Structure 1
Amino acid sequence: MLSFKYPAKSDLLLVGFLLILSVGILFLPTGFTDNSDANTLRVQSRILSTDNSMIVQTGIIKTGTQNLHIKILTGKFKGLEIDAFNELIGRMEFDKFFTPGDKTLTVLNLSADHSKIVSANVIDHYRINLEAFLLALFVIFLIAFAGWTGVKAMLSFLFAGITIWKLLLPGLLKGFSPILLSLGIVALLTSAIIFLVAGTNKKGLTAFLGAMSGVAITCIMAILFGFLFNIHGAIKPFSETLLYSGYNYLNLTDIFLAGVFISSSGAVMDVAMDIAASQTEVQQQKPNISVRELRHSGMTVGKAVVGTMTTTLLLAYSGGFSALLMVFIAQGTPMINILNLNYVSGEILHTLVGSFGLVLVAPFTAIIGAWVIAGKKKDRVKLQ
C-alpha cells in the first residue's frame, strides 16, 4: 500500500502558483482566432451506410467522392439522418476511408438563419473521447504510483503543454526571434518542472542550473553546425506551407534550429535531475563529504546515465524516419547519397547536437552540484 506524505508548505505554494499561472496562460488571447464560418456547426455523427461507386482505385490509391449516410449524435440536430460526402485526393497521409459504424467528426453547413442543414462534410474519425480516456488513464496510473509527486508531475505536464500551445507557437507565428523565444520558454518550463518535482531546495537549484547549461551548449552547437551543414528550415514537414499561408516573414531555419534544443531539453532535464538527486542522497548519507568527493560521485552517476540516454535520442528520432530509410534501402540508394540529403542531414544534426547536450550536462551538473549541495568546503589535511 502506498503511503501518502503530507506535502510541505513550499510545495503547496508552488503548486498553487503554477495552477494560477497555467489558468492565466490558458485564457491568454493569442491573436489567432477560430476562422471557421459562422454558418457551420461541428458535431459527432455515426456512419450508417456508404456508397463507394464514385471512387476510382488505382493500385492502393483511392480518388473520388465517398457518399455517406450518417446519423447526427450531438447538437441541436441530434438524431437527424442526412447524406454527407468524403473527398479522397489520392494521398494516403491525408485521405480517410469510412465504413458503416464509424464514429466521425462532421461539419454541418447551415442556412443563413441556422434553421436547416445545407450540406455535411465528414472530416475524420472522432477520437476525442478515446484521447480523453487515455489521458485520464495516464493520470490515474501516475498518481497511483507516485502519489503527491505524481500530482506535481501531472501539473508540470499540463503546464508544458499549455505553455507551448499558448505562448511558444503563437509567438513564433507572430515573428518573434525563434532562438530567443524558445530559450525563454525552455527556461520557464525547466524551472517550473524541476522546482515542482524536486522542490525549492539545493537539489532543485542544482538540477536547474545543470539543465540550463546543457540547453545553452545545445543551442550554441545547433546554431554553429546548422550554419556549417547549410541546412534550411523548410526540410521539416509543413514548414513550406506556412510561407504560402501568409507567413512568408518567418525564419524557418531559426525555427528548425530552435527545435533542436527544445526537443532535447526534456532528456537534458532527466540527466540533470538524476545527478542532482544522487548527489543530494550521497550528501544526506555522508553530511561531511567534501566538494571533491561529491563531484566524483556525480561524475560516476553521470557516466552511467549518459551511457543510455544518448541512445534514447537516436531511437526517438530514427523511429520517425524509419519509412524514409526503408525506401532508400529498398531502392538501393548508396549510403553516401543518403547521408548528404538535406533532410537526413537535418536529423543527423538533430541527433548528434542533442546528444552533445546530454553528454555535457552530466559534468556540468556534477560540478555545480558539488558546490551547491556540499558547500564551498576545502579538503583539509590535519597536521599531526
Structure 2
Amino acid sequence: MKKTPEKPKTPQLPKLPPLRKEASTVIVLAISAALFVAALFVAHSGEAKDTGSLFWAYGTETIDFDTATVNEIVSEDMSIDEATEGSYAGSQELAVTIDTGTYAGTQLTAYNSFGPISGHPVEVGDSVTLTIKTHADGDVTATVYELNRIPFLIGFLILFFIVVVLVGSLTGLQSLIGLAFTCVCLFAILIPLILKGAPTILTTFVMCAYISLVCFTILGGVHRKTVGAFLGTVAGTFLAMVFGLGAQFFGKINGLRLEDAEPLYQLAVYDGIPIDMEGLLVASIIICALGAVMDVAMSIASALEEIHAANPKLTQKELFKSGMNVGRDMAGTMTNTLILAFLGGELTLMIFLYARDLSFYHMFSTAFVALETIAGLSSSIGMILAIPLTALISSMLITRGGRR
C-alpha cells in the first residue's frame, strides 16, 4: 500500500510563556509607576508661588465658598427676558442654612442676582454654593455664587461608568482606569510642570507618549499588538506636533492668541509665573490628537493581529495592505470627529461671526477661526499619517515573530 507523503509542517514561532508575558507587563507598569512618582515629586517640589486669589478681599476680610440649603424665599423681583426664550432676570432674598465650612449649621440671609447669561433663580430646597464674606467688624454677608451641581455631576459620572462597564465588560473597566490615569497625569503633573516654567510643547509631548504607553499596557499587556499601537501613536502624535509647529510659524500665530490666554498672561506679567504661553497652541493640538491617534492605532494593530491569526501565511506586504484598507475606512469618520469636535467647541463664536455678516476673508483672518482651523487640521494630519505608520510597524512586528 502506497503511503501518502506527509506535508511539511509549517515552522511555528516560539510562543512566549504566559508567565513571562505577565512579567513583562508588570515590569513596564512598575517602571511607569516609578516615573509617575518621580514626575509628581518634581511637579510639586520647591516653594509654591503665591498667585493670589481669583476674588478680591480687602484688609482683614475673608471669603469662603460653602454649600447651603434654601429654606425660604423671603422676597423676589424678577421678570422674563423675552430675547432669551423665557430666561429670568432679577434678584431674590433667601433664608438659607449653611451646610459646610466654618459656618456650618448657621442660618443666614443670602442674596441671589441673576440674568439670562449668569446665575439662576432658586427654589426652596435647592442646594447652592455661597460666596460668604466675613468683614473686619465681624459682619457676614452671603451671595449665591451658583447652584450646587456637584451631586448631579457625580451621579452623571457614575452613570457613565456603569454604561462603559456594562457594554465594555473588563475592557471597559480597563479603559476607565486608563481615563482616570490620563486625567491625573494632566492635572497633577502636566499643568504644575507648565506653571513651573517647563517647556510647554516638549513636556506635553513626553507626557502624552507616557500616557499612551501606560494606557495600552493596562488595556492589553505587553505584546506586539500594543507595541505596534504605541509606536504608531507616538509617531502620529509627533507628526501632529510638527505640522502644528509649521502652521504656527507660517501662520504667524501662537498660544498668546488663544481665547482664554489673557488670565494666564496676567499671571505671567503680574505674578511672575513662568508660563511658556507661545507653546500652548501646539500643546493643545498634541493633547487633542492623542485620543484620536490612539483609537486609530489600536484598531489597526488589533485588526492586523486578527488577520494574521486567521491566515498566518500572509507576508508583511500583504498585512500592510490589509492595515491600509482598514485605516482608509477609519480616516474619513475620524477626521470628521476631530474637525467637528473643534468646531463644536466654538459654535457660539461661529454663530456670532456669521451674524456679523463678515466676508470670507475677514472671517478666516480672525485669530479665533485661524486657531481652530490650525488645531483641527494639524490633529487630523497626525491621525491620518498614523495609519500607514501603524500598519507598517505592526506588520513588521507580526511577521518577524514578535511577542503575542
* TM-score of the superposed pair, with normalisation by structure 2: 0.79
The reply to whether residue 232 of structure 1 matches residue 254 of structure 2 is yes
The reply to whether residue 120 of structure 1 matches residue 146 of structure 2 is no
Q: Structure 1 residues 259-268 or 234-243, which shifts more?
A: 234-243
Once the two structures are TM-superposed, the CA of residue 77 in structure 1 deviates from its matched residue by: 4.3
Q: Structure 1 residues 126-135 or 73-82, which shifts more?
A: 73-82
Name 2:303's counterpart in structure 1: 278
Structure 1: where are the runs of 5+ without partners? Answer: 1-6, 378-384
The reply to whether residue 253 of structure 1 matches residue 275 of structure 2 is no
The reply to whether residue 84 of structure 1 matches residue 106 of structure 2 is no
The reply to whether residue 108 of structure 1 matches residue 132 of structure 2 is yes
Q: CA offsets, 1:208-247, max 9 Å, x none?
A: 0001100111111111111111113233232111121325
Q: Structure 1 residues 346-355 or 192-201, which shifts more?
A: 192-201
Once the two structures are TM-superposed, the CA of residue 376 in structure 1 deviates from its matched residue by: 7.4
Which residue, out of 219, 229, 232, partners 1:207?
A: 229
Kept in 2, the 8 Å contact 1:52–1:65? The answer is yes
Which amino acid in structure 2 is aligned with residue 96 of structure 1?
A: G
1:34–1:160 Cα change, 3 Å: farther
Q: How far apart are the structure 1 equivalents of 2:163 and 2:292?
A: 22
Alignment of 1:301-312 (within 5 A): 301-312=326-337
Q: Structure 1 residues 7-16 or 317-326, which shifts more?
A: 7-16
Alignment of 1:312-331 (within 5 A): 312-331=337-356
1:275–1:54 Cα change, 3 Å: closer
Q: Structure 1 residues 116-125 or 168-177, which shifts more?
A: 116-125
Q: Structure 1 residues 46-55 or 301-310, which shifts more?
A: 46-55
Once the two structures are TM-superposed, the CA of residue 58 in structure 1 deviates from its matched residue by: 11
Which residue, out of 57, 60, 69, partners 1:46?
A: 69
Q: What SS does structure 1 have at the residue aligned with 2:95?
A: strand
Q: How far apart are the structure 1 equivalents of 2:171 and 2:28?
A: 11
Name 2:399's counterpart in structure 1: 374
Q: CA offsets, 1:176-211, max 9 Å, x none?
A: 100110011101111111221122110000000001
Q: What SS does structure 2 have at the residue aligned with 1:99?
A: coil
Which amino acid in structure 2 is aligned with residue 125 of structure 1?
A: L
Kept in 2, the 8 Å contact 1:14–1:196? The answer is no
1:267–1:50 Cα change, 3 Å: farther
1:248–1:340 Cα change, 3 Å: farther
1:287–1:54 Cα change, 3 Å: closer
Q: Structure 1 residues 153-162 or 245-254, which shifts more?
A: 245-254
Name 1:97's counterpart in structure 2: 120
Which residue, out of 200, 206, 220, partners 1:198?
A: 220
Kept in 2, the 8 Å contact 1:46–1:104? The answer is yes
Alignment of 1:177-192 (within 5 A): 177-192=199-214
Q: How far apart are the structure 2 equivalents of 1:18 and 1:154?
A: 21
1:34–1:68 Cα change, 3 Å: farther
1:26–1:139 Cα change, 3 Å: farther
The reply to whether residue 138 of structure 1 matches residue 160 of structure 2 is yes
Q: How far apart are the structure 1 equivalents of 2:386 and 2:261?
A: 31
Count of residue pairs brought into register by the alignment: 367
Q: What SS does structure 2 have at the residue aligned with 1:108?
A: strand
Which residue, out of 264, 281, 287, partners 2:312?
A: 287
Kept in 1, the 8 Å contact 2:67–2:98? The answer is yes
Q: Structure 1 residues 340-349 or 73-82, which shifts more?
A: 73-82
Kept in 1, the 8 Å contact 2:25–2:217? The answer is no
Q: CA offsets, 1:334-383, max 9 Å, x none?
A: 11211111110111101111111111000000111110111179xxxxxx
1:287–1:346 Cα change, 3 Å: same
The reply to whether residue 147 of structure 1 matches residue 169 of structure 2 is yes
Once the two structures are TM-superposed, the CA of residue 75 in structure 1 deviates from its matched residue by: 4.9
Once the two structures are TM-superposed, the CA of residue 271 in structure 1 deviates from its matched residue by: 0.5
Kept in 1, the 8 Å contact 2:132–2:142? The answer is yes
Q: How far apart are the structure 2 equivalents of 1:362 and 1:294?
A: 13
Name 1:356's counterpart in structure 2: 381
Name 2:6's counterpart in structure 1: none
Q: Structure 1 residues 300-309 or 317-326, which shifts more?
A: 317-326
Q: Structure 1 residues 225-234 or 23-32, which shifts more?
A: 23-32
Q: What SS does structure 1 have at the residue aligned with 2:145?
A: strand
Kept in 2, the 8 Å contact 1:11–1:196? The answer is no
Kept in 2, the 8 Å contact 1:214–1:361? The answer is yes
Name 1:4's counterpart in structure 2: none
Once the two structures are TM-superposed, the CA of residue 296 in structure 1 deviates from its matched residue by: 0.9
Which amino acid in structure 1 is aligned with residue 177 of structure 2?
A: L
Q: CA offsets, 1:53-72, max 9 Å, x none?
A: 599x9977999975433222
Q: What SS does structure 2 have at the residue aligned with 1:147?
A: helix
1:346–1:198 Cα change, 3 Å: same
The reply to whether residue 169 of structure 1 matches residue 191 of structure 2 is yes
Name 1:380's counterpart in structure 2: none
Q: How far apart are the structure 2 equivalents of 1:364 and 1:13?
A: 27
Q: Percent identity?
A: 26
> Which one has the largest radius of gyration?
2
Q: Structure 1 residues 32-41 or 264-273, which shifts more?
A: 32-41
Which residue, out of 66, 81, 94, partners 1:68?
A: 94
Kept in 1, the 8 Å contact 2:171–2:219? The answer is yes
The reply to whether residue 264 of structure 1 matches residue 252 of structure 2 is no
Q: How far apart are the structure 2 equivalents of 1:166 and 1:197?
A: 22
Which amino acid in structure 1 is aligned with residue 123 of structure 2?
A: P
Q: How far apart are the structure 1 equivalents of 2:147 and 2:51?
A: 21
Name 1:336's counterpart in structure 2: 361
Q: How far apart are the structure 2 equivalents of 1:232 and 1:371?
A: 38
Name 1:381's counterpart in structure 2: none
